[in-house]
Amino acid sequence: FMEFEEALSAWDHRYQQIGSGAFYGNLFHTQVGEVSVFRGHWERAIHYRGVAPKGTVALAVTLKQSDEGRWLGQCLGLNDIIVTGCGVEGEYRSPPLWDTLVCTIPRAELAQRIAKITHDDPEKIITRGIARLSPRMAAHVRRAILTYLGAIKRLGAGSHAQSMLVEKSSALVERSEERRVGK
């Protein structure tokens, strides 16, 4: 867990293994400016406490899990996204197998995009805690994430991979906006 904590040094976070057996996990991390994306995978139940980097909102999408987890005491299933703003301490108890992608986005940028897509008050969404998606929408989000991660791994690190992060993020938001307004 020290490697997780060091690799994601902008976070104020702590991990503790609560499941028995030797820990196995891995981390993939990429960042462009203030947008950060990391994939964490572990195969033992853990207890996490932490705060997202200053000025950001963190979104955590479960890619695979062996059972439900608990985010701030609420059940977290495969179709749920954790939404946590900076300054709000999160607490998560994971199932024995959890594979997730976490994206941190500047709060102001995310609020602007939410307002454009939904025409609702972004603060209600940003402070929600858990966004519950339909199984179909959750599967779509997971496929988009896995496609992005696969492309980044094939291309390797560097400026092309970083520009791809920006392009893929913008394309996903634009497709969401089109679906929302019925284009």
**Mean pLDDT per segment of 10 residues, for the chain of length 183 residues?**
72 88 86 82 92 88 94 93 84 94 87 78 77 89 85 65 55 48 43
β-bridge mates for residue 100, sequence order: 40, 62
Spatial neighbors of 87 by CB under 8 A, at least 6 apart, are 51
CA distances from 169 to 51, 87, 104, 120 (A): 23, 24, 12, 21
β-bridge mates for residue 20, sequence order: none
Q: Other CB atoms closer than 10 Å to residue 16's CB: what's the count?
A: 10
Confirm if 94 and 46 have CB atoms less than 8 A apart.
yes
Q: Other CB atoms closer than 10 Å to residue 57's CB: what's the count?
A: 25
**What's the confidence (pLDDT) of residue 96?**
94
Whole-prediction pTM value? 0.80
**What's the confidence (pLDDT) of residue 178?**
46
**What's the confidence (pLDDT) of residue 166?**
54
Could you report how far apart the first and last alpha carbons of the chain are, in Å?
45
